[in-house]
Amino acid sequence: MAGKDHLYGALARVVPSRFTPHVPDDPQATMAAVRYARHGGLEVLEFVAEHPRPQPTSRHMLVRVGAAAVNPVDFKLRRDQVAELAVPLPKIPGTDLAGEVVSAPPGCPFVPGDRVFGMMPLLGTRWGSCAEFVPVEARFVARTPANCSDADAGSLPLVGLTALQGLAPALKALERERGTLAGCRALVQAASGGTGSVAVQLLARVHGVEVIGTSGPAKLDFVRSLGAATVLDYRSQDFVEHVRGVDLVFDPLGYRYAERTLDSEVLRRGGHYVHLASSDWAQPRATLGSIREARPLAIARDYAWQARTRVGAALGMSRVRVHHVFVHPDGAGMAELAGHLESGALVGCVERRFALGQVAEAHAHVEAGHTRGKVVVCP
């Protein structure tokens, strides 16, 4: 274990937001948790009433979990044969959390009793938020607004940071080019999903951008309620035929829509395509390479693609700018989301809540697709 701890620590120094140093078991305390000791289907998820509680290091707080979101990356990491370096076993799933600080190291900006929410690193740790307690670094969380429940706050970290980090470079570029975001138009694919629903709210309510969203027929009104000016039923209205010349496309389903978007007139010349790192949910089980969130070579390749499109745009050789998003934990981003929650510009969209003993059911629900907003587990 010592060798692994050293390696995880080294990775944490190189890519500190994606890997975390080893946190040991507390030999004198237990907690309820859900874990898996091997990769596979829902059957590998095991509820454990007395799992060892984490013993926080000098860098970690101990947080009592009030709510934890279930994201697609959770079932992908569970389902696919990911190297143990990236996903140490046994693994407690879950990266999103909202809860109450139980203990904090000296010099920490949070104290016991503070309510916080945030995102844990995706890789390199066996701890996750589908448990009663979780170790988390203060730099990855923010205070939960008083007007926000743990369920709503816990539903937002990964999808909220994905939307923030994905939209930021495109919106900055548009503001620099135009002087204002007034009059800008954006297409948000999968606008009723977890990430899409946050992107719609940030674009429409925070930045005043006119939003066109796509969704299934049962969720059109829901997307309108988030601030979208126009909503297309993706089953009967092809976005390539109905959308022309927008300034920005935010695409959580890039593996499905990227080529059709970039080969069409959906984006104006000089427009911005925000491509989220993701993979087809129905992708066959394979190796580490099947999960793009955990694939270093894919990250390098896609950043090279992004650099190429930027250079091409500067030289007038590329029609659009492409931005790739590989979400990472960020306390400053969480604080920005907290501000939007406090002002009412952003709301959590929780579709269903599950108990800790129902994590397998929660995974099944998310894996089936077509959720409206988010699914949370409340220990």
DSSP characters over 43-63: GG-EEEEEEEEE---TTEEEE
> Distance between CA atoms of 352 and 258, rounded to whole angstroms?
30
Whether the pLDDT of residue 288 is over 50: the answer is no
Band of pLDDT at residue 365, cut at 50, 70 and 90: very high
The count of C-alpha atoms lying within 13 angstroms of the C-alpha of 39, restricted to the half-sphere facing its C-beta, is 18
> Distance between CA atoms of 187 and 243, rounded to whole angstroms?
8
Provide φ and ψ at 137, rounded to 5°. Answer: -80, 145
How confident is the model over 312-358, as pLDDT tens digits?
555 455 689 999 888 999 999 999 999 999 999 999 999 999 999 99
CB 65 within 8 A of CB 99: yes
pLDDT: is 175 or 122 the higher one?
A: 175
CB 275 within 8 A of CB 248: no
How confident is the model over 84-103, as pLDDT tens digits?
778 899 999 999 999 999 99
Tell me which of 78-87, 94-103, 239-248, 277-286 is least confident: 277-286
Tell me which of 11-15, 40-44, 204-208 is least confident: 11-15
CB 295 within 8 A of CB 288: yes
Whether the pLDDT of residue 126 is over 50: the answer is yes
> Distance between CA atoms of 195 and 250, rounded to whole angstroms?
10
Q: Which domains does the chain have, with CATH numbers?
A: 15-155+348-378 (3.90.180.10), 158-325 (3.40.50.720)
